[in-house]
Structure 1
């Protein structure tokens, strides 16, 4: 940051000390004790700047959501596999009329004309465009313009430290935005909030800063570079992983019986994109019958296979995910590709969830512009309406992207986690890679004693959404050097380390309590108090699969690739085959698998990983041990054993 920028930032910080007093009868609704790394306040936001103000209403019955999902997901439940319809999910969690009326009355009494206030089609959000002056009055806070690094093109508007609501209103509101949340990637001039009547026609792709944009916080696979020759032999899987290695490791051979009734999806975010010629290059070596085969594209908010940018940073993730998912399930089983966002606005996890569940959307199928892309794209690109409930979720979905938990606020994370629970209620299995930096966050960031992100910190930094109790977090293993696929794997310790640990936001779900307690009792990590959350929180990963030395075709060359990004799509292919077998005999898909895989019978069907660790934050992290551990979860899948167990369930 330049000297002048630092001086402005310091001045802004000094101004922050004189906070707007909370109006009488108001309570703190949400607070933030730190600013995500890279951001700094540089000036007060102009009073006439217009904000797309959103109020997320309390969803009833969320306090019962664990009971609901255990009822349809635990193998001992009489309702196992009796998944809910989307209509039942929507009606169960739709905000009450009392919440709608209370929030609307508060806004009107605060000086907002009634005709300006709109209720979202899903009933979960209220929308009104307000000025900074109006927002500060309503919330008893101050808004600042925050800058990312030294470039004043990358700015973001948020309020300082906390905001307030009337006490009687607060109990009807989950979250208000834009307020504290930094689930956003720096936008260029096209992405800055505009004053009333102003317009910025810039449509430079340099303003596309999304989940898929390299270098902005989310995890991506790593590489050692290109290789000159392929060794497709089982005795060489310690040097190069190819599909046959994975089939041997996990006893995975399967011929799909009802591929037209089954479904598997890989999630990608533009500008990440696969290269068709790379798929064929890979298939010609490892699955010749699939040369010419492509994933079935589901475009979300203008998502498309961009070709403006190429190379490993833009093609490595998508090529990896699709080459392995498609080759493992074979040519009979179509693989869906959920490609989210155009090249300008991009997309967020929230945009994806909107497309999968209409009840998650906001006004007219819109979204939250603070941290989600807005369509029609006002800066060039996709001109259609935002997708809202336009995609029927596949039975298995794999995502190899993720945040550091501390980047976001608990309120936002909790709201999104509840949506993953709803997908589980509908019979959807959601897999997320657990991260590649061991007990540290993305790019190796840790936390200091105050919970702030610090590369020199010694406090472990969990990830999100892998710490959500309603997704299945997938860690990484490796074939040890000079070993074969017939010998036990260990936790991945080549180039990357399997992400794992304990959430600072989510409590421990009941399904994993026994396994985690067993680990902490028998193999206490021995770190000083405060190194990680020991208060009984969600632990991850849940399972693992190989994540080292993958052969991936990228732009006409073969690369050696590493990451939990490898492990998630491989696991998805295996679970998809189990779904096919169940559906073929008239049974339901496996749905949310965590309550099942933590039972003693199913834990015994995984290959237990007992060696290796996941270093980070100046420590050796946690160690893989017999049973569940926060490095490799319950272990890697044994397809034959798991298939037999799942086929006998209702």
Structure 2
């Protein structure tokens, strides 16, 4: 038996080891990306540079919200059209209390003053204004200044970040970190109309009311004839339409009246309401008139008059102090707009957005978070409509590669067009018959699985496509566009002068206007608005769409997908026929 003097030091050593604190466990990697080829790092970000850091918290009941949304959007379901209240949606979108507690304890321990934090209505997002130095410490990362190889723009981003184990499972995403997207307006530059050609059009104003005139120049009257809304008298009180504006795009009131005087005489003197969000402006000088903003508001107003229209001008998130790193706020804008509208008690029944970016420049966690916010709008009865993009299946062949390190050739889907909880609109041209516009964005998401409402329609297309393009697209992904509308040669006024533009930016507000008129008819008949459209369009509403069977959407060095009978990733299910859709919707 060992003697006590020998055992005692060993016992004391063991006890002292037990008393020592355990070393801190290292944080867990949350997200890592490769910067897109179009961005290259310049230097470390200035430590004092201010970031608007948005933390999206885990939402354990989001699948319940998805289920509720699909039930209430399905004309065959007994809950169809019973849209949820703001409080009901927020209850399903809310994080678990333990998630809130864990995140707040972590932030407080790190010295973050939570009194200045902004909280979303459902409590699922926390926004903090922090210097880069503190953000780096929180996220165990390093921020760098990146420059865009083509435009020279600068942004402050990181390629990876980590979170403590105590909060890792409680947070969905943190941005701006790995988000390199640059949302762009989905339309061509303004093409000036020569005075002689424009005078000839004015002399033939009556002919512009015929559907066939869409072959040469699109006006509200030709769209009304083509899509069968001519003669429908809307109400000023039944429903409302929202138009989103980003990237310092300002809708000009004088241009609107000039456009109305020529092409929507009954609307002269009326206008849209402008709502400023997060530093958005309403600059009304002729030089500041935005082609995108004017296009959207002029056609939405002309096609839906006298339905109230709202233009949301979303800027950067204040407070923001320009410095040597960035000259403007580069937070992704959809989140700012969503934070604003989800807090509203009353929402427009339809919202049209003509902006998007390559899906792979948006981290998947962030895309999922934003898409779920669109689902929240849908559950409250809002039809969320997006343009499908203007690069067919992708841009030039040199850019059609994955950004995951594998560098594999692939088509490039667009986001938010690829979100399954929005209705995505492609482009057509000509008339009698309409054909696919060659730039019409379409394809398959690499992030979102194919929703049940479109499975049958997409399967029919894929069986026809066969093995063509195998490996270039995700056949099991959410497929888009859902529908289409005219997208070439739209006459607009910008800065006091007429011009024409092309793009799915033309198509989205056109289709949104048709849905707005359908909602007007439904509400006046004592029925709910259409809300999330896709289950209706792929089902009972299909007979109210004109199938587009010719044309393709070239891109990535290929001829792209081919339009054909049934759904296709060029023109979707087709273009709207208002009178038929109205009957099918029961109005």
- Per the TM superposition, whether the score is higher than 0.5 is yes
Provide the secondary structure at the position in 2 that maps to 1:604.
helix
Q: CA RMSD in A?
A: 2.9
Aligned to 2:84: 84
Provide the secondary structure at the position in 1 that maps to 2:290.
helix
**1:438 Cα deviation after fit:** 0.6
Aligned to 1:192: none
Aligned to 2:19: none
Question: Could you tell me which of 363, 373, 387 is aligned with 1:409?
Answer: 363
For 1:369-388, list aligned pairs within 5 A.
Answer: none
**1:57 Cα deviation after fit:** 1.2
Partner Cα separation in structure 1 for residue 129 and residue 294 of structure 2: 41
Question: Could you tell me which of 329, 335, 342 is aligned with 2:309?
Answer: 335
Question: Could you tell me which of 522, 544, 567 is aligned with 2:484?
Answer: 544
Question: Could you tell me which of 547, 551, 555 is aligned with 1:608?
Answer: 547
Partner Cα separation in structure 1 for residue 137 and residue 453 of structure 2: 44
Partner Cα separation in structure 2 for residue 276 and residue 116 of structure 1: 40
Provide the secondary structure at the position in 1 that maps to 2:276.
strand
Where does the alignment leave 5 or more consecutive residues of structure 2 unmatched?
Answer: 1-22, 317-326
Partner Cα separation in structure 1 for residue 118 and residue 297 of structure 2: 39
Change (3 A) 1:558 1:55: closer
**1:277 Cα deviation after fit:** 3.0
Change (3 A) 1:328 1:554: same
Are 2:187 and 1:220 aligned? yes
Partner Cα separation in structure 1 for residue 255 and residue 113 of structure 2: 55
Aligned to 1:514: 456
Are 2:505 and 1:565 aligned? yes
Are 2:436 and 1:466 aligned? no
Please report the TM-score for the alignment, with normalisation by the length of structure 2: 0.85
Change (3 A) 1:556 1:416: same
- In the alignment, is the contact (CA less than 8 A) between 1:609 and 1:636 conserved in 2? yes
**1:51 Cα deviation after fit:** 4.9
- In the alignment, is the contact (CA less than 8 A) between 1:437 and 1:444 conserved in 2? no
**1:351 Cα deviation after fit:** 1.7
Provide the secondary structure at the position in 2 that maps to 1:321.
helix
Question: Could you tell me which of 254, 257, 275 is aligned with 2:252?
Answer: 275
Where does the alignment leave 5 or more consecutive residues of structure 1 unmatched?
Answer: 1-21, 186-210, 212-216, 359-388, 480-484
Partner Cα separation in structure 1 for residue 328 and residue 48 of structure 2: 26
- In the alignment, is the contact (CA less than 8 A) between 1:116 and 1:128 conserved in 2? no
Aligned to 2:295: 320
Please report the TM-score for the alignment, with normalisation by the length of structure 1: 0.77
Change (3 A) 1:524 1:168: farther
- In the alignment, is the contact (CA less than 8 A) between 1:282 and 1:323 conserved in 2? yes
Partner Cα separation in structure 1 for residue 120 and residue 533 of structure 2: 31
Aligned to 1:366: none
Are 2:29 and 1:28 aligned? yes
Aligned to 1:204: none
Partner Cα separation in structure 2 for residue 492 and residue 147 of structure 1: 33
Partner Cα separation in structure 1 for residue 308 and residue 406 of structure 2: 42
Are 2:576 and 1:623 aligned? no
Aligned to 2:16: none
Change (3 A) 1:550 1:447: same
- In the alignment, is the contact (CA less than 8 A) between 2:390 and 2:503 conserved in 1? yes
Aligned to 1:175: 173
Partner Cα separation in structure 1 for residue 156 and residue 565 of structure 2: 48
Partner Cα separation in structure 2 for residue 284 and residue 221 of structure 1: 25
**1:288 Cα deviation after fit:** 1.7
For 1:56-75, list aligned pairs within 5 A.
Answer: 56-75=56-75
**1:565 Cα deviation after fit:** 0.9
Question: Could you tell me which of 238, 255, 276 is aligned with 2:232?
Answer: 255
Aligned to 1:291: 268
Question: Could you tell me which of 440, 458, 466 is aligned with 2:394?
Answer: 440
Partner Cα separation in structure 1 for residue 280 and residue 129 of structure 2: 27
Provide the secondary structure at the position in 2 that maps to 1:402.
strand
- In the alignment, is the contact (CA less than 8 A) between 1:116 and 1:129 conserved in 2? no
Residues 381-425 of structure 1 deviation map (CA, whole Å, 9 limit, x = unaligned): xxxxxxxx4x73210111111122122211111111101000000
Change (3 A) 1:49 1:541: closer
Partner Cα separation in structure 2 for residue 285 and residue 53 of structure 1: 47
**1:321 Cα deviation after fit:** 1.4
**1:278 Cα deviation after fit:** 2.3
**1:322 Cα deviation after fit:** 1.9
Are 2:104 and 1:104 aligned? yes
Provide the secondary structure at the position in 1 that maps to 2:287.
coil
Residues 605-650 of structure 1 deviation map (CA, whole Å, 9 limit, x = unaligned): 20000000000010011010100000000000011110001016xx
Aligned to 1:202: none
Aligned to 1:430: 384
Question: Could you tell me which of 569, 588, 593 is aligned with 2:533?
Answer: 593
Partner Cα separation in structure 1 for residue 165 and residue 281 of structure 2: 45
Aligned to 2:523: 583
Partner Cα separation in structure 2 for residue 23 and residue 446 of structure 1: 43
Aligned to 2:334: 349
Provide the secondary structure at the position in 2 that maps to 1:572.
helix
**1:512 Cα deviation after fit:** 0.8
**1:97 Cα deviation after fit:** 1.3
Partner Cα separation in structure 1 for residue 52 and residue 296 of structure 2: 36
- In the alignment, is the contact (CA less than 8 A) between 1:319 and 1:554 conserved in 2? yes
Change (3 A) 1:126 1:239: closer
Change (3 A) 1:579 1:28: same
Change (3 A) 1:619 1:121: closer
**1:447 Cα deviation after fit:** 2.7
Partner Cα separation in structure 2 for residue 467 and residue 40 of structure 1: 26
